Structure 1
Amino acid sequence: MSIKSELIKLWNIATSPSYRAARAPYRAFRKAHGGTTPVQFSRVQPGDVVLDIGGYVGDWSDQMTTRYGVVSHVFEPHPSFANAMAERFAGNENVLVHAYAIGSEDGVLELSDQANASSALIREGPTVTGMVKAFGPVVEGLGLSDVAVVKMNIEGGEYDLLPAMIDSGFMQHVDTLMVQFHKYGPDDVARRDAIRAGLSRTHVCEWAYPFVWEQWARKTPEMT
């Protein structure tokens, strides 16, 4: 997050009751799960495959592979972050870094250069260029079938990627989805609702803190 964005956030917390109310889900999440991306998954087993979509610097993948002995595919379109992870995990066969984003189709992303808040939906300040590859061919090329956990934090890209994953039927092969929806405008409320309706066909929501983090688990045969 940029210094300017951080100062704006602090000012809003101090002066705006409505902003403080909007931050309530984040405070509740921190109280229940701490201040970092959750890594507690009761069903994950050694050798399972997880997808770290929006890897940033790779901390989540590092914790998951250390804790559970899983194989993590990390997707990160920001060139600097992807290169840093490639160096960080050099020689670690359990972390596979892919220097691109995945979405509904191939393309190019102009990303705001704001550390872990870098986004194709923000055009403030300096930018970098990243690559996006269509989800279907990536899944086929990597031989991905059953996935234990998908962790997704892609600064608005979830509104493009998740419908593609749902419509293709791939979500039926995902045991747990943990996603951070982002709210850049009023339409994002309805977009999130539509995606959640699609997810509910194959998964149940285990917990949710709107526009912070939420977790979905694949339905068992008894639930379908």
Structure 2
Amino acid sequence: MSKMEHFRRCGLVLVMVVAVLAFYTSGISWEFNKEEFEFRSEEPRPKIAKIEISSKISSKLQRVAPIFRDMRTDKCIHNITAESGFNFSADENTSIHTCFRKNLNVIKMYHASNKRLDWNITFSFFTFLAKKPNVKIVEVGGNVGDLLPKLVRVTGVKKYVVLEPVPSFYEKLKTNIKQRSLTHIVTPYNFGLGKTDEKINISPSGVATSLKKKSVSDATETLLIVKVVDFFIQLGIGCHRLDLLTINCEGCEFDVIEMLTSSSLIKQIDYVQFQPHASVFADKKKYRFLYCRLRQLLSRTHEIAYEYPHVWEAWRRKGIPKP
């Protein structure tokens, strides 16, 4: 056999090997490209709401007391600006896409996070706040008040505001606050937060009650929802910093954080802790997109303090020292 013939046969074998490998991996490549195509061409994509900063606070919020002394809310309104963050840069889009691909199996990641999570972290992580004077905390989605006494104990917080929109839960929350002798520290309000002011009828389903998930219960309660930005301005966050915002509201975390990051208010919050809720979304692809977009929005002003993907995570404002 001549050298030319030998090289020809070797080349033919190499071509056949490459062809076989291409055949067996084509399904994998096609699936990836299909997923990538669906991500990039998804229509309609969840849109970021354009923020409107009211020149005057809604009458629905007049009963909400600022958490800072000697402060007039109307003086803070003009400190808040809308952020031009509705369009992502090429690098940010790449980061969102990478996150979207990384979180293909949300359920598997949830169980992995749940397995290694110490659930005490939602309050034990913030023990360093006890060294600060006049700590202020806001909790969105207080339910009946399981987390707040723990945060009060470990942080020495002076002002704690908790929101619970479901009337039946709110009554239990008020009772628990009174029984724990925390009325001088904790102020509860019976409304939730959203992109717009509205009233919603809902059938409560325990701790999993969500505005984004239908319930089979026949009992119906009416929930009051107020604008995210208006509420935080009324508290006085436009003029002062908030030490911790903790959110566990069965899906409303996307609206709350999205609206805060769409304004300069997010720069006034040192720590944002939240629990993502994939379970309230029938469309897991939409959840993944919202989750990845939310993280990208937060990354503009904050950095990860701790994370257990799809269970609990906390973000620290950039520029403040680590505890």
TM-score with structure 1 length normalisation? Answer: 0.81
What value does the CA root-mean-square deviation take over the aligned residues? 2.3
Cα distance between partner residues in 1 of 2:302 and 2:202: 31
Secondary structure of 2:188's counterpart equals strand
Secondary structure of 2:147's counterpart equals helix
Q: CA deviation at 1:206?
A: 2.4
Task: Tell me, yes or no, if structure 1 residue 215 matches structure 2 residue 314.
Answer: yes
Distance 1:80 1:189, change over 3 A: same
Determine the structure 1 residue equivalent to 2:116.
31
Q: CA deviation at 1:204?
A: 0.5
Name which of 225, 231, 244 aligns with 1:132.
Answer: 225
Q: CA deviation at 1:209?
A: 2.2
Contact 2:113 2:311 in 1 (8 A): no
Determine the structure 2 residue equivalent to 1:170.
265
Identical residues among aligned pairs (%): 24
Q: How does 1:43-82 map to 2 (within 5 A)?
A: 43-44=128-129, 45-70=132-157, 71-82=159-170
Q: CA deviation at 1:129?
A: 1.8
Contact 1:103 1:133 in 2 (8 A): yes
Q: CA deviation at 1:136?
A: 2.2
Q: CA deviation at 1:43?
A: 3.8
Where in structure 1 do 4 or more consecutive aligned residues deviate above 6 Å? none
Cα distance between partner residues in 2 of 1:47 and 1:80: 31
Cα distance between partner residues in 2 of 1:128 and 1:154: 16
Q: How does 1:1-224 map to 2 (within 5 A)?
A: 22-34=107-119, 37-44=122-129, 45-70=132-157, 71-90=159-178, 92-126=183-217, 127-144=220-237, 145-183=240-278, 184=281, 185=283, 186-220=285-319
Distance 1:211 1:115, change over 3 A: same
Q: CA deviation at 1:131?
A: 0.6
Contact 2:243 2:270 in 1 (8 A): yes
Secondary structure of 2:223's counterpart equals strand
Contact 1:182 1:211 in 2 (8 A): yes
Secondary structure of 2:295's counterpart equals helix
Cα distance between partner residues in 2 of 1:36 and 1:117: 21
Cα distance between partner residues in 2 of 1:125 and 1:179: 27
Secondary structure of 1:139's counterpart equals helix
Cα distance between partner residues in 2 of 1:114 and 1:72: 26
Cα distance between partner residues in 2 of 1:152 and 1:21: 20
Contact 1:46 1:68 in 2 (8 A): no
Secondary structure of 2:261's counterpart equals helix
Secondary structure of 1:89's counterpart equals helix
Distance 1:35 1:106, change over 3 A: same
Q: Render the CA deviation track for 1:89-138: whole Å, top value 9, x for unaligned.
A: 23621111011001222112333411111001111212422111112222
**How many residue pairs were aligned?**
203
Cα distance between partner residues in 1 of 2:123 and 2:201: 29
Contact 1:111 1:122 in 2 (8 A): no
Cα distance between partner residues in 2 of 1:133 and 1:140: 12
Q: Which runs of 5+ in 2 are unaligned?
A: 1-104
Contact 2:139 2:247 in 1 (8 A): yes
Determine the structure 2 residue equivalent to 1:4.
none
Higher strand share: 1
Q: CA deviation at 1:58?
A: 1.1
Greater relative contact order: 1 or 2 (C-alpha under 8 angstroms, separation 6 or more)? 2
